Amino acid sequence: MRIKGFAIAMLVPVVSILIALAAAPPFAPRPASATPGFARQTGVSCQACHTVFPELTPFGRKFKLNAYVFTNVKQIQATDEQSQRTLSLSDLPPVSVQLQGSNTTLGRGIPDAGVAGDLSQKNSTQFPQALSLFYTGKIADNLGAFLQLTWNPSSNAVGIDNSDLRFANHFSFDSIGVPDFIYGISLNNNPTSQDVWNSTPAWGYPFIFSNVGVPPVTKALLDGQLAQESVGLSAYLFLFEHLYVEVGGYRSAQTSFTNTTTGGPGPLDSTSPLQRISGTAAPYWRVAWEQDWDNHALSFGTYGLSAQVHPPGIGESGPTNTFTDVALDAQYQYITDAHIVSATATWIHEFRKFNNVGLADRAHDWLDTARLTGSYFFKRKIGGSAQFFSTTGSRDLTLYCSPSTFATAPSPACPGAGTGTPSQLLGSANGKPTTQGATFEIDYLPWLNTKIGLQYTAYSKFNGRSHNYDGFGRNASENNLLYVYIWTAF
């Protein structure tokens, strides 16, 4: 879906680039990990797995680690002569639907792409903002899936959303003091979507957000840039009921790409509009410790990914850029029937090494992303959240589309360089990626599977500055968002 948006943008003038970028990550609708398909399969209410959807409880984390296979519905079964089960299918498929509708009000309309000097509509209404179909649950005894198809309003098409196919089982080494533990393998299309804590990017707050806002000029690779555009295979262990260890690797996925020579969906080459992970795979790692006591659950850990990528236009033997993300995260939950308190923190440090001349001013850049979130809910009915976010990084006029780079030719990192337009609104006049602010949200859940929310995002700095950040007079606060939504899954 998103790749297609980019592909179109490469073929049409700057106006389309602007629209495509505005619709691209990180402002694309994010899927839910909460699905009634799981409830249908387990016969257990949402509150077993979720504090308030989509945030997971300790039970929800275990359910996911066990490959979504726990079931309480009748099974269609087959066994072989050795009494080994060869089939175990749910009588009714764990299928469900998700619907989101929203209204967004921007602080100030963005420039009209067709009429110079005019502005777009300040309000944007979407119904649906996203419509998803899920298969979430058991496939076989130790095999389960979280599969999601989502209709996307920017392309008016249905596409692949988060996908996670996983195998899990239990084992123990009692003789050496290692009690029952879980081991598993996940095949997925979004780094950290396989994670069971809500302090990593894929399932982190905000769980839902406007897709019509102005996207910041950059974000870390692990912060959603590879979502639905990569495929990863990872293996994990959950030991002593505390320690989670996962290692794996990600490759670029051949989604929405047509190789002009074969006419098929691959192989990827320099005509791909997205940067391609080179080599076998980009290694991914995750280590976390969970400590639960009474009504409390605390976790902390690290995750990361190191990718060598070819920018669009560069062939396989050409130079690669290296992006290495090293991240820390933590989560705290207090869960009772009446009161639920959650706090999450994540910090991603990205090392960027540019071997391709012209993409960036410097051979080495860095980017820091930090988010701190707290939320409270009363009886899973009414509650609120607050998040403080910050992105900072090294100054790079070329990479961040400063107007001073207009003389240079368009590049993948700055497609509007030389044309003037994308730097307006989307670029950084001072070449800094600093984007900071806060999101506040109030939610009401008339039922466990329906959330009505009012969310306000305020930027103190956007793409480097509070005032005139793009060099065309736009202020950070003009990108503030008032977002009202309804989100239901059934």
Partner 1 sequence: MKANVMYAVVAGLVLMTAPADAQEKAAPPDLVRRVCSTCHGVGGISISPMFPHLAGQQAVYLETQLKAFRDRSRADPHAQAFMWGMAAQLTDASITEIAAYYAAQRPAPGKPAGRDETAAGKKIFEEGIPAQQVPPCQSCHGDKAVGNGPFPRLAGQHRPYLERQLAAFISNARANEIMHANAQNLTALQISQIAAFLSSP
Q: How far is the CB of 28 from partner 1 (least distance, A)?
A: 29
Residue 466, SS3 per DSSP: coil
Does the protein bind partner 1 through residue 457 (CB under 8 A)? no
Does the protein bind partner 1 through residue 82 (CB under 8 A)? no
Q: Which stretch binds partner 1 (CB under 8 A): 266-274, 281-289, 317-325, 399-407?
A: 281-289
Residue 204, SS3 per DSSP: coil
How far is C-alpha 55 from the chain's CA centre? Answer: 14
DSSP 222: I
Q: Which stretch binds partner 1 (CB under 8 A): 214-222, 241-249, 324-332, 455-463?
A: 241-249
Does the protein bind partner 1 through residue 295 (CB under 8 A)? yes
Does the protein bind partner 1 through residue 436 (CB under 8 A)? no
- Rounded Cα distance between 136 and 285, Å, is 25
Q: Write the CB contacts of 450 (distance below 8 Å, at least 6 apart in sequence).
A: 486, 487, 488, 489
Candidate residues 26, 101, 266, 283; the one interacting with partner 1 per rule CB under 8 A: 283
Does the protein bind partner 1 through residue 172 (CB under 8 A)? yes
Q: Which stretch binds partner 1 (CB under 8 A): 105-113, 244-252, 351-359, 408-416?
A: 244-252
* Residues 234/251, Cβ–Cβ less than 8 Å: no
Q: Contacts with partner 1: how many residues (CB under 8 A)?
A: 43
Does the protein bind partner 1 through residue 15 (CB under 8 A)? no
Nearest to partner 1 of 84, 261 (CB atom): 84
Among positions 333-352, residues that touch partner 1 (CB under 8 A) are: 335-337
Nearest to partner 1 of 48, 133 (CB atom): 48
Does the protein bind partner 1 through residue 81 (CB under 8 A)? no
Candidate residues 7, 8, 15, 70; the one interacting with partner 1 per rule CB under 8 A: 70
Prior bond of 153 cis (ω within 30°)? no
Would you call 290 exposed, middle or buried from its count of C-beta atoms within 10 A (0-12, 13-18, 19+)?
Answer: buried
- Rounded Cα distance between 165 and 146, Å, is 6
Candidate residues 42, 102, 423, 463; the one interacting with partner 1 per rule CB under 8 A: 42
Kindly list the distances between the CA atom of residue 86 and the CA atoms of 17, 139, 141, 145, 168, in Å, as whole numbers in the listed order. Answer: 51, 11, 9, 18, 16
Structure tokens of 436?
A: 């900071």
Instruction: Give the residue among 250, 246, 244, 258 at the shortest CA–CA distance from 221.
Output: 250
Q: Which stretch binds partner 1 (CB under 8 A): 68-76, 203-211, 216-224, 390-398?
A: 68-76
Give me the residues that bind partner 1 (CB under 8 A), please. 42-45, 47-48, 58-59, 62-63, 66, 70-74, 169-174, 179-180, 183, 185, 233, 235, 247-249, 279-283, 292-295, 335-337
